Each structure stands twice: as C-alpha cells, then as structure tokens.
Amino acid sequence: MNERLPGNRILRTIVLIPWAVPGIVLGIMFLWILDSSYGVFNAMLRDLGILSADFPWFVDRRTALISVMVPTIWKSYPMITLTVLAALQSIPRELYEAANVDGATHIQKFRFITWAGIRGPSMLVLMISALGIFRDVDIVFGTTGGGPAHATETMSLYVYREAFNYFRMGTATAVGTVMIIVALMIGAIFTIFAQRSKFK
C-alpha cells in the first residue's frame, strides 16, 4: 500500500470498510458466517473435506474466544494500517537512497530508517487499540454474551452485568477502578516506548 501503484486509492478505501461497520452489526454478521447450521464457513470447510459435520464455533468453549477475536481484529486493523501507512509516507526517500549508497542491508534499512520512522505512531495506535478493545463490549455482547461458561467474558461486560443485571454497584465500581488503573499503566508503558526520538 505504500508503493506508488495504480489502484492504491481504491485499496485504501476498501481497507477502511471494517472500521465503519458498528461492532454489534459486525457481531451479527459473524454469527451468521460461523453459524453451526447454515454458516458459510462451515460449508466451506465441509466442501474442502476438513469437517465432516457442522461445528458450533461460538458455542464450543475451545473455539468461542477465537471466534470473538477474529471480528475484533478485523474491525481494528484499518486504523492501525492507515496510521502506519501515513508514518511510512512521512519517511524521506532520500534516507533510503543514502542507505543504498552506503551499502546498508534490508535489515539495517528497516531497523534504522523504517522502524525508526514508524515506531512512535505504531506505539500510539497500538495503545489506542488496546484501550479500545479493553473497554468495548459490543462484539462480545452481540455474539456470545460472555459465554459459554464465561469463556469470552471481558472485564467491561463483567462490570455491566454486575451493575445493571445484579445491581451490585460496589463490585462494579471496584472492578471499574481496577480497569482505570490498568488502562493508565498500559498508556504509560506505550508512552515510554513512543517517546524515543526518530532515527536514533
């Protein structure tokens, strides 16, 4: 996507599509895709001979967490991709030309030019994504509801249930406070990594 090729603008627009889909809608989409009775994913695996019978992806405890992770990653990657792409485009081409003249290897060019140029934005977008996933409940709520047997229950969903299903406000407040502290620690760690100067 960083190369000057025809159709790049169309490709970048397509990459943005998952980011525009609401989480609850995305969860319902994957419920249909991975449905144990009429899901297209099971049909594809049967046609390939990998499965002999339909598999309940969201119901089985062994695969429920992975089934929730896939739509979550699919929704999160556009922001990460575009942020890293913008950072790549901000790196001066002259640095690569100078590295070629000096006989630098591909690994050296990546370490001292590419990674140095995208390190700060990468840390920032990873921090935002981590904090976003940390608080989001829409995909989990729309697919498994935290089940089966709490296999996919997140802290945010736990706080919601404690507060609004069981009306245990003390427990919900305590867990919410722990979540804030953890979020601050995540932010501090990523900030330390992002503060390093460019091209050092």
Do 154 and 140 meet the contact criterion of CB atoms below 8 Å apart? yes
- Give residue 1's pLDDT: 83
pLDDT in tens, 70-108: 999 999 888 889 899 999 999 999 999 999 999 999 999
**Residue type at position 122:** S
C-alpha to C-alpha distance for 185 and 121, rounded to whole angstroms: 19
C-alpha to C-alpha distance for 198 and 91, rounded to whole angstroms: 10
| 49-55 own/partner pairs: CB under 8 Å, 24+ apart | none
> Looking at the domain covering 8-194, what would its CATH class be?
mainly alpha
**Residue type at position 196:** R
**Residue type at position 46:** R
- Give residue 198's pLDDT: 59
- Give residue 163's pLDDT: 93
Query: Distance between terminal CA atoms of the chain?
Result: 26
Ranges of residues in the chain with a pLDDT under 50 are none
CA distances for 84 relative to 8, 118, 155, angstroms: 15, 6, 29
- Give residue 3's pLDDT: 81
The pTM of this model reads 0.80
